[in-house]
Amino acid sequence: MGLTCARAFPAPAPIQHFDVSSTPLSPGFIAQFNQEQQSYNGLNGHHDGLPAHSSPDQLHLSQTDASPIFNMDPYLLSGGMRIAPLDSQTTRSARFIGETGESNPYLLKYYKYDNNDECTISKLTYRRIKSSLNPDVLSDEKGEPPVVFMLADDSLAQKGEPRIEDDVLQKSRTEIEGMFSEQEALRLIGLFLRFVYPYFPILSKSELCPNGAVSPSVLQTLPLSLLSAIYATSLPFMLYDDLLSTTLIHSPPPAHQLFRITWLCVIQELHTPRLATLQACLLLLQRAPTNRYTTDTPWKMSLVGWTVSLAHSLGLQKECSDWSSIPTWEMTLRKRLFYGVFIMDKWASLGAGMPSHIKTDDFDVLPLTDADLEPPSLDQGSNTIPGFLEPEADSNHFRLLTELTIILSDIMDSYYSIRATQRTSKNFTLSLDLARSLRKALTEWKESLPPALSMRQAGRVDSRISGNPSLSLAYIVATMTLFRALLRPLENLSGAEEQERSIVEGRLAVRAGAKECAKEVVEFVENLGRGALDAFWHSWSRANFAIASSFLMQLLVTSQNEVETNEINGLVARWRWAMRIGSGSTGNGLMSLGLLRLDGLLLENGTGHPSGG
C-alpha cells in the first residue's frame, strides 16, 4: 500500500494570485496568460491572435495597473492535463532528488500523488516526472531510475548560513534602481538580447519580449542577481543605442559595482536556488577581466565548480526532452542552460589547466537541435544601429559551439587527465591512434559550418558587430590542444624510436599539421575587423589567445632545422604584430594577456625581435 500524502493542489488547480514584489520571479520561467480573456487549448492548439505554432511562453499577461501583481496561472493545458513549470514557484525551489541521498527516489515512487503528480508532507512537496512518450508510464516503470524533484518551501532555509541581511539587499536594489531610468534599463536588456543572447542564449527571450519588445514588467520580476548581471554585461554595447550613447556614455555605472551586487544576491539565493541563480552565475563567469594583463584568480574556477554543482542540484544533467510534466519552453531552456554550464566548464578548465568538473558519465542530455533554440529576431522598434546581425550564423553559433565543446571534452579526456597524461605523454604510437577519430570529428565539424561561418573567406575584413569569430578561434584552439598532445611524446623518443620509419613519418605529419594550425590562427587574427573585436567574446577567449601564443613559441623552440625556424619565426612576427593591433582596438583586453605572454617568452628565448617584427 502506498504512503498517503496531503494533496499538494486540488484538481483542477484554481487561478492563483502571486505577488512578485515580495519574491522576485523571472518571467523567463513562467508561462503566463489571462484565463478570463484568453484560452489556450493544448500545446498544439490555437490561440486568438497567435499562430498555431505559438508556444505557451509567448502568452503574456498585460499589466493592468502600476502594481507588480499579476493574475498568473503557472499551469498549462496539454491534452486535458495541467502542467506546472518546475521553476514557477514564488515560495518554493525545485531540487533534483539523486539516488544516494537521504530522500530515496525509489521509495518516493510509492507515495500517493495527486493529479498534478505532486504530494506534500509538511512544507516539502515531491513532484514526479512522467514521459511524453507515454504519459501514463513513469520513468522507473521503463527500467530507468524515478525522476523526482523536491519543491522545498523557502521558509525552511530562513536560518541558512551564510546569508546577507535583508536591509543590505534592499539597499542594493535601491542603488540599482537609481542608476538607470526605466527606459535606460529596458534599452540595456535590449542590447543584451542583440549582442550577447545570440551567442549565449541562457534566457527565455520569448518571455522577456512577449510582443517583440522587452516588457517593462521584467524590471520587477527579474531577480536582482540576474538583472544586475544583465546590466553589467550590456554596458560595453551602450555606444550602439542612440539613447544610451547620449545619456549614459559619459558617466556609465561601473560594471564591477553591478557584478558585486550580483554576487551578493547569489550568495543569498544559493539556499533556495532557481534557474535565475544559475543564469546569474554564468554571466558572472562571462564578465571581462578586471586586469587585462593577468590570468584569472582561482576564484573563477571555484565559481565554475559552484555553478556546476548548482546545475546538478537543479537536475539540469538529466535529459528532459521526453518529460510531459513540464512545458516545452522549460525543457528547451533547461537544455540550453546545461550546455551553457558545460561549455563554460570545459573552456575555463582548458584555459586554467585544471580538471573539468563535468564527467561524461554524469549527464545524459542529448545534443542541441534547432528545436531547442529560439531563432534570432529583430525588434522593429529598436533604436540600436542596424546592419550588424547575421541571422543564419547567429542562430547556429551556440549549437555549433556545443558540438565543438563535446569534441574538446573528448580530447581532454583522452590526453589531459592525470592518468591519460601518464599513458600518452611517452607513447607516440598510442597518441596517434587516439588522435585519428578526434581529428576526424574536428574536420567534420568544420565542414558542417554554414557559409556565413566559413573559416576562410578570402579578403574578408568584416565591420559587422558579430561575436562569431570567438567560435572560429575556439575551433583553432581545440585543434591546437590536440596537436599539443601529439607533440609531447616527440620529446621523449628513444634513439631507436627516432630511427623507425613509422615514427619519422608520424613526426613529420604532426609537425606539418601543427604548423598549418599556427598559420590558420595567424591569418585569423590578421583578418579580424574592428566590428569583430568590439563584439561579444566568450570570456574564455582571452585564454585562447594566450594558448595560441604559447603554441607558436612551442613550435619555434622545437624547430627541427634552420628552414623551419625561419618559417615559424615569420609566423611569430606576424602574430605579434596582429596582437599589438588587436590589443589596442578592444576595451576588454582580449589579446593583452596573449601578447604579454608572447613578449615574455620571446625575451626568455633570446629572440625579442623576431624577423619581420
pLDDT band at 518 (very low <50, low <70, confident <90, very high): very high
Q: Bridge-partner residues for 96, per DSSP?
A: 149
Give the residue among 560, 577, 561 at the shortest CA–CA distance from 611. 577
pLDDT band at 37 (very low <50, low <70, confident <90, very high): very low
Q: CA dihedral in degrees (549, 555, 558, 564; nearest 10)?
A: -130
Average pLDDT, integer, range 276-290: 93
* Per-residue pLDDT, 248: 86
pTM: 0.83
pLDDT band at 459 (very low <50, low <70, confident <90, very high): very low
* Per-residue pLDDT, 140: 57
Cell of 417: 587527465
State the average pLDDT for the chain.
80
Q: Of 28-42, 161-175, 268-282, where does the model show the most confidence? A: 268-282
By the 8 A CB rule, do 370 and 399 touch?
Answer: yes
**pLDDT at position 81 over 60:** no
* Per-residue pLDDT, 223: 93
Average pLDDT, integer, range 415-424: 96
**pLDDT at position 612 over 60:** no
* Per-residue pLDDT, 375: 73
Average pLDDT, integer, range 375-398: 60
Q: 17 or 494: which carries more pLDDT confidence?
A: 494
Q: 483 or 155: which carries more pLDDT confidence?
A: 483
Average pLDDT, integer, range 538-564: 92
* Per-residue pLDDT, 495: 72
Looking up cell 499579476, which residue turns up? 70
- Inter-CA distances, 83 with 44, 50, 135, 146, 529, Å: 14, 20, 12, 18, 48
**CA–CA gap between residue 320 and residue 316 (Å, rounded):** 8
* Per-residue pLDDT, 334: 96
Q: Which residues contact 188 (CB under 8 A, 6 or more apart)?
A: 180, 230, 231, 234, 235, 238, 244
pLDDT band at 485 (very low <50, low <70, confident <90, very high): very high
pLDDT band at 554 (very low <50, low <70, confident <90, very high): very high
Average pLDDT, integer, range 338-362: 97
Cβ-based neighbour number of residue 354 at 10 Å: 13
